[in-house]
Amino acid sequence: MVAHSENEVVVEFSFGLAEPELEDGERQKFAKKMLRELRSLDEVERAERTEDLKLEANSKLGFATLIGILTAHISLKNLKKFLEFLVDRLQDKPIKGKIKVGEKEVEFEVNSRYELAELEKTALKLVAVMGEDKDV
């Protein structure tokens, strides 16, 4: 577990390729290569495979069927650099996943560099919502 100061916000970013024509072996190969790259980034505090997703009632099964899902833990201050890395590596590959900040999370599916870059705004909105909940 990574230690964080009380005021440091950590974003949990889970994702995998969302290309239906890819074989499971291709997804795993992608995940293995990407995991090595994520672990070498200074911006990423922790990166791991996320193959055993716990599904709650009424959750979308499509997310659970993805093979080769990765999770990266990034401090909010490093989110922009992390997303720039993903945009550079993934180009216009479709990806599917979720962003989690505290107890709040949103699922996403993006198909372009532009849409991937927009995820930073989503994470910042989650942080703002999380801050509002603490004030209540």
Structure tokens at 49: 């495979």
- The confidence score (pLDDT) of residue 135 equals 47
- The confidence score (pLDDT) of residue 15 equals 92
pLDDT score of 93 more than 70: yes
- The confidence score (pLDDT) of residue 4 equals 47
Alpha-carbon distance of 123 to 61, in angstroms, equals 23
Average pLDDT over residues 49-76: 66
**What is the value of pTM for the model shown?**
0.77
Rounded to the nearest integer, the mean pLDDT of the chain is: 79
Q: 10-135 — its CATH code?
A: 3.30.70
Domains of the chain, by residue range, sit at: 10-135
Contacts of 80 (CB under 8 A, 6+ apart): 120
Contacts of 60 (CB under 8 A, 6+ apart): 107
Confidence of residue 132 (pLDDT cuts 50, 70, 90): low
Structure tokens at 37: 């790259």
pLDDT score of 6 more than 90: no
What is the phi/psi pair of residue 14, to 5°? -110, 135
32 or 3, greater pLDDT: 32
119 or 43, greater pLDDT: 43
Give pLDDT tens digits for 29-44. Answer: 999 999 999 999 999 9
